[in-house]
Amino acid sequence: MNIIQSMSPKRRQMNPDGKRDAIMEVGERLFATNGYSGTSIADIARAADVAVGSVYRLFPDKPSLLAALHGRMEQRFIRVMTQAWNSVDAFDDKFEPLIDALLTEAERTRETMPLYALTKDMIGTAEYVPGAQMIEAIETLYRGGAEAGSFRPVPRGILGPLAHAMVEGGMRAWMMNPTKANQTHVKAELLAIFEKAFLTRRG
């Protein structure tokens, strides 16, 4: 061992999955705390205790890492949304648990929610379109209620972006004042908007 090697800090030995998880956990925290321009790949590598080259082997550039993090957050929201949707049978009653679950997840992950404001920094990552997974999930869930006659028929390509924008707006309103009282207010407002816009019985 030469003197340079002996002076180099020893890194933890991790398998590829472990490295990816460590990089993403640290990246999520640093991007949310310091913003896109305030976070470098070197910062992430240092905090994750991996070599800079290890980060680039898994993510070609910084936008690709941010896109992967944003996609992972979307998957979390899709999971809780789907579980809430399936927790009740009647289509007329599905919006309330859905909205409650999404706001609860936003509260649980409040520290990393600022990642949603960084979507402009992912422009150019053609393999990932911010919000596309969520929009597709919304349209898939809605289809059953529309076919049953409980929901108004809304063309694909309009429903998903519209509902996604409503939920995102509600989350932003709650994050500006993240209190329990405001969460209750936002939930009630979103529920009223969803039921008026989409339920046939409210027509």
Across 172-201, average pLDDT = 91
* Residue 114, domain extent: 71-202
Residues 6+ positions from 189 with CB-CB distance below 8 Å:
170
Q: Are residues 116 and 40 in the same domain?
A: no
- Statement to judge: residues 31 and 125 lie in one domain: no
Mean pLDDT for all residues in the chain = 87
Looking at 11-15, 49-53, 70-74, which range is the least confident one? Answer: 11-15
| Same-domain status, 107 and 28 | no
End-of-domain residue from the set 22, 38, 59: 59
Q: How many residues does the chain have?
A: 203
pLDDT digits (tens, 9 = 90+) for 141-173: 999 999 999 999 999 889 999 999 999 899 888
Tokens standing for residue 38: 């305030």
pLDDT at 28 over 90: yes
Quick count: other Cβ atoms within 10 Å of Cβ 138? Answer: 23
Q: Residue 65 falls within a domain, yes or no?
A: no
User: Which is higher by pLDDT, 58 or 8?
Assistant: 58
| pLDDT of 11 higher than 80 | no
pLDDT at position 156 is 86
Cα first-last separation, the chain: 77
CA dihedral (47, 52, 57, 58) in degrees, to 10, reads 20
The tally of domains found in the chain comes to 2
124 band by pLDDT with thresholds 50, 70 and 90: low
**130 compared with 73, residue with greater pLDDT:** 73
Residues 112 and 49 in one domain: no
101 and 163 in a single domain? The answer is yes
- Residue with the bigger pLDDT between 122 and 103: it is 103
Q: Is the pLDDT of residue 89 over 90?
A: yes
Based on the fold, state whether residues 108 and 22 are members of the same structural domain: no
Q: Is the pLDDT of residue 119 over 80?
A: no
Q: What gap in Å lies between CA 173 and CA 97, rounded to an integer?
A: 19
Domain co-membership, 105 together with 164: yes
